[in-house]
Amino acid sequence: MRADTRHLALPFFDDAHRALGEQLAGWAPAQQVDESDDRRACRQWVRLLGDAGWLRYCVPASAGGAMDKLDSRALVILRETLAFHSPLADFAFAMQGLGSGAITLAGTPAQQAAYLPAVARGDKIAAFALSEPDAGSDAGAMATSADAADGGWALNGCKTWISNGDIADFYVTFAKTDREAGTRGITAFIVDAGNPGLDSSEHIAVMAPHPLATLKFAHCKLPGEAQLGALNGGFKLAMQTLDIFRASVAAAALGMARRALFEAVRFSRERKMFGQTLADFQLTQAKIGEMAALIDAAALLTYRAAWLRDDSEASGAGKRITAEAAMAKMTATENAQRVIDMALQMHGGLGVKVGTKVESLYRDIRSLRIYEGATEVQQLIIGKAVLQS
Ligand code: COS
């Protein structure tokens, strides 16, 4: 089935976005990936996405990308469409962008050349290592440290909930370089998989399976060139990266919600009950109406956040869109959870049967309300911004 593309007519998008959305809507349903093993499937999705050229939207043109700069609206279209068809395909795409985003923003020419073209081809798998067992929402409280050693660095500590953990070729890792300086004492590093000081073997199983692991750094030696961006500038770099990708998490949630509505409409038209179809009942019509409005509200906030960032980049204004991205992420993920729950309820017993699309969506959506800043963190960000304005 082809994803609906009517929203591409909205003025947030230009013709290049419309062409991208139409092409992708034709490509995605034709892909066949056995997702029973999430690690194998994720690698396969990266291969397919790389070969088809879609990963080129994760890096800028100077490094083999499709557009001059990371384009938030293109990312939104890609994630929304991929998530409609396969949340795991969306995950594989998104992690290539999130994992390499800090290199795009702050990498030296040599770092960009070494990693970004390979990410765009799907030859290197990327990961973003920020969270720790005792530092999730409070990212600045991280304990992993990087100390000067042998002309380079030595990392010690632990990162957890790391997407692509143990299948990534490199990890953009954030560590304390000044323990007393809070968020102003964090630096980013590029850690290649295979470094003998890195153990990524502890996998984490979750309700919607995708590659996830804990990383342990034990005197993990890095050359000086592994430092990414300014010394002690890592927290801002992490936040700037999240500013780009949070709006795209909203888009992934939107894709899942649109799929749930699609399934609910299809099912309600087919299901016979009391001499009519489920869709003939006013109760069903009211639910479908509520679902559609929740989806459109999420869509408008998501497209606004993406458009604002692209517009700010194009004009060179460099305006932060943290609050708008937070509004999009919070609203789209929370609304999608409600829409998917309503679609599942409409399916009755079938809704909880393993193998039904709404059943897997119900599990897929849940973590989006938590990762890349939980709903409560988004509320905090928005609240602070309102109070400061
Ligand atoms: N862009 C640029 N700079 C930013 C920024 C952004 N989006 N957000 C914060 N900063 C800067 C601030 O300007 C401040 O700079 P100064 O030190 O020069 O004043 C600094 O970073 C610290 O900001 P703040 O005081 O707001 O930091 P807090 O420790 O209060 O943390 C939250 C803010 C909670 C918003 C942050 O820790 C966060 O986003 N947490 C969630 C992390 C997350 O998403 N984890 C999931 C990991 S990926 S799955």
- Mean of all residue pLDDT scores within the chain: 97
User: In this predicted model, what pLDDT tens digit does every residue of 231-277 receive, in sequence order?
Assistant: 999 999 999 999 899 899 999 999 999 999 999 999 999 999 999 99
Question: 239 CA distance to ligand 1 centroid (A)?
Answer: 6
298 has a pLDDT exceeding 90: yes
State the DSSP code for 67: B
Q: How much is the pLDDT for 1? A: 84
Residue of minimum CA distance from atom 10 in ligand 1: 236
Residue of minimum CA distance from atom 13 in ligand 1: 236
- Those residues with Cβ within 8 angstroms of residue 114's Cβ, 6 or more apart along the chain or in another chain: none
The enclosing H or E element of 272 equals: strand 272-273
74 has a pLDDT exceeding 90: yes
What whole-number distance in Å separates Cα of residue 244 and Cα of residue 241? 5
317 has a pLDDT exceeding 90: no
What whole-number distance in Å separates Cα of residue 217 and Cα of residue 147? 12
Q: Active-site residues: which are they?
A: 372
User: In this predicted model, what pLDDT tens digit does every residue of 281-291 receive, in sequence order?
Assistant: 999 999 999 99
At 318, the pLDDT band (50, 70, 90 cuts) reads confident
Nearest Cα to 182, choosing from 231, 130, 232? 232
Atom of ligand 1 nearest to the CA of 381: 35
User: Ligand 1 pocket: which of 91, 236, 379 to mutate (most atoms <8 Å of CB)?
Assistant: 236
Among positive and negative, which fits the CA dihedral 48, 54, 60, 63?
Answer: positive
The DSSP code sequence of 131-193 is -BTTBSS-GGG---EEEEETTEEEEEEEEEEEETTTT-SEEEEEEESSTTSGGGGEEEEEEET
371 has a pLDDT exceeding 90: yes
What domains are defined for the chain? 6-124 (1.10.540.10), 127-232 (2.40.110.10), 242-388 (1.20.140.10)
Task: Classify 49 as helix, strand or coil.
Answer: helix
User: In this predicted model, what pLDDT tens digit does every residue of 100-158 receive, in sequence order?
Assistant: 999 999 999 999 999 999 999 999 999 999 999 999 889 999 999 999 999 999 999 99
User: In this predicted model, what pLDDT tens digit does every residue of 164-215 receive, in sequence order?
Assistant: 999 999 999 999 999 999 999 999 999 999 999 999 999 999 999 999 999 9
pTM: 0.96
Mean pLDDT score, 70-98: 98
Nearest Cα to 248, choosing from 62, 58, 41? 58
Beta carbon of 373 within 6 Å of any ligand 1 atom: yes
Among positive and negative, which fits the CA dihedral 176, 182, 183, 185?
Answer: negative
Beta carbon of 381 within 6 Å of any ligand 1 atom: yes
% of the chain beyond a pLDDT of 70: 100
Beta carbon of 5 within 6 Å of any ligand 1 atom: no
State the DSSP code for 53: T
* Tokens linked to 109: 């020419």
Q: How much is the pLDDT for 50? A: 98
CA 7 to chain CA mean position, Å: 21
Atom of ligand 1 nearest to the CA of 184: 17
Q: How far is residue 152 from each of residues 79, 157, 219, measured CA to CA in Å?
A: 37, 17, 12
Q: How much is the pLDDT for 255? A: 98
322 has a pLDDT exceeding 90: yes
Nearest Cα to 21, choosing from 35, 46, 2, 34? 2
* Tokens linked to 218: 């034990």
* Tokens linked to 6: 């009517």
What whole-number distance in Å separates Cα of residue 7 and Cα of residue 371? 26
Beta carbon of 164 within 6 Å of any ligand 1 atom: no
